[in-house]
Amino acid sequence: MVLTIGELARALDARCWGDASIAVTGAAEPASVGPAGPEGGVLAMAMAPKYAERLTPGSIAILAEGMDPEAYGLKAAIFAPRPRLLMAGLTRAFDPGPDIAPGIHPTAVIDHLVAGRIPVVSSIAPDLDHPGHSLNVNADAAAAALAIALGARAISRHSDRALVKAVIANARAQYR
């Protein structure tokens, strides 16, 4: 998905200056960025004057508040009131993260297995539709699905009511 510099500024809750219709095709250090063309341009990360010295006229950039985009000959700019926070939003805009299908992901436990640890499947899971809430899931079904995904030859189920009660009592005492 290609964003315009104006759309990106809105997504970052930042102010846009200049031609807001320019497509942003990526982001890089100012020395690596050329002028924006008809297909858009790469956004120069020039959030301090020392970085802005390397801006190419006709390019697009992120600048700190108070910097003058006209002095650098920019076509458009986004002003970053909090540059480091804006960088996190920019990363999120350009990198949606890994393309992982929903469901059981065996890679989540591989590191533990390699380290010789035994993974424990819990019957509590976060409710993604209602942040802050938990779900009571079928741990047996989750463990079976995980075992299948890992190609396990066997599965071991353990339930110690006394241990579970002790863990709950300890947690309650600790977080009161």
> Can you read off the two tokens belonging to residue 136?
């009571």
Determine the pLDDT at residue 145: 78
Taking a C-beta distance cutoff of 8 angstroms, is the pair 87, 81 a contact? no
Determine the pLDDT at residue 89: 81
| Residue 62 confidence class, pLDDT cut points 50, 70, 90 | very high
Determine the pLDDT at residue 116: 78
Determine the pLDDT at residue 171: 65
- pLDDT tens, residue by residue, 42-55: 999 998 899 999 99
Determine the pLDDT at residue 15: 94
Taking a C-beta distance cutoff of 8 angstroms, is the pair 54, 31 a contact? yes
Beta bridge partners of 17: 77
Greater pLDDT, 100 or 134:
134
Greater pLDDT, 70 or 163:
70
Q: Give the domain ranges of the chain.
A: 3-94, 107-174
Determine the pLDDT at residue 127: 83
Measured between alpha carbons, how far is 6 from 169 in angstroms, rounded to an integer? 53
- pLDDT tens, residue by residue, 123-165: 787 888 888 888 887 877 777 877 787 787 877 766 666 766 6
Measured between alpha carbons, how far is 102 from 59 in angstroms, rounded to an integer? 40
For tokens 């009511």, name the residue. Answer: 161
Say what the pTM is: 0.57
Contacts of 112 (CB under 8 A, 6+ apart): 118, 119
- pLDDT tens, residue by residue, 7-46: 999 988 899 999 999 999 989 999 999 999 999 999 999 9
Domain 3-94 superfamily per CATH? MurE/MurF, N-terminal domain (3.40.1390.10)
Is residue 60 predicted with pLDDT exceeding 80?
Answer: yes
